[in-house]
Amino acid sequence: MKLIADSGSTKTDWVLIHDSSEAGRYSTPGYNPFFFDAEAIYNSLSENLLEKLQASEINEIYFYGAGCSSPEKCNIVQQALRQAFPDASIIVSHDLLASAKALLGDSAGFAAILGTGANTCLYDGEKVIFNVDSLGYILGDEGSGCHIGRKLLRDYMRKLMPQDLWEDFRETYKLDNEHIYDILFNKPSPNRFLASFAKFAQQHKHSEYIRAKVRDSFHDFFKNLVSHYPNYTDHTLNCVGSIGYIFKDILIDKAEEFNMKPGKIIQSPIHDLVLYHLK
């Protein structure tokens, strides 16, 4: 049996394949090796996945993960998977490659991720051939849930939100500035904390204040990432991720503003990624 995984910074989607068809779907936390070591990943797999399937029956694993951007980081995930599935052959790759395969299949083009984090690439139908570094949630990740969440949190802390939204935000999250600083600087996974406020943006997606923040974030995405690809207007914008999907109308408007035609925009790559591996 074969196990396909698409892991973002927030969650991992797993699909079990048996005899060229789906045999099960599972969900676990995300396993970004920038934030978790092999032991922590294995412990989470033991708690959230291994009890749901027979590890000894898995012969192949294809794991595509956020943060799996170097041999060192891929090895962290591979160690955990090897411990969890000792009889399987294991391939660990970047989630950007998974997104390109899901969005473009065997065709060349431009692919993007707009979820908890952001990333972009040019793909030749087999591998990623060019990537403008997104720089992560502190320095970049423009257009992502983290980027939008950071904008909202900053306005909340400075009381720059419209009053009704500020009161709703305070009631929903019950955070003061001191608590926020403690989470950002002393707790694990500050990227997830920032991205969690994208849910507030979704709940108020028809507010002009929220739409303006999302437009600003997507503008930064195109200005600082997309427009630095050679001949980027020759490509369609193909995008995977909850943020791009939820705010698809704003994303399409911003793409057209940058003279880029919209292409395939999906919430999750796992369905199309499984189809790719079933071919």
Predicted confidence at residue 225, as pLDDT, reads 97
Q: What pTM value is reported for the model?
A: 0.81
Predicted confidence at residue 278, as pLDDT, reads 82
Rounded to a whole number, what is the largest CA-CA distance in the chain?
57
Structure tokens at 253: 């408007």
Residue with tokens 């940058």: 258
CA angle 185, 186, 191 (to 5 degrees): 60
- Sorted by where each begins, the domain ranges of the chain are 2-98+271-278
Predicted confidence at residue 154, as pLDDT, reads 95
Under DSSP, the state recorded for 59 is: -
Structure tokens at 56: 């000894």
Q: How far is CA 245 from the centre of its chain?
A: 12
Q: What is the DSSP string of 3-34?
A: EEEEE-SSEEEEEEEETTEEEEEEEEE---TT
**Exposed, middle or buried: residue 47 (CB in 10 Å: 0-12, 13-18, 19+)?**
exposed
Give me the residues of the chain with pLDDT under 50, please: none
Predicted confidence at residue 95, as pLDDT, reads 86
Question: If you classify domain 2-98+271-278 with CATH, what class do you get?
Answer: alpha beta
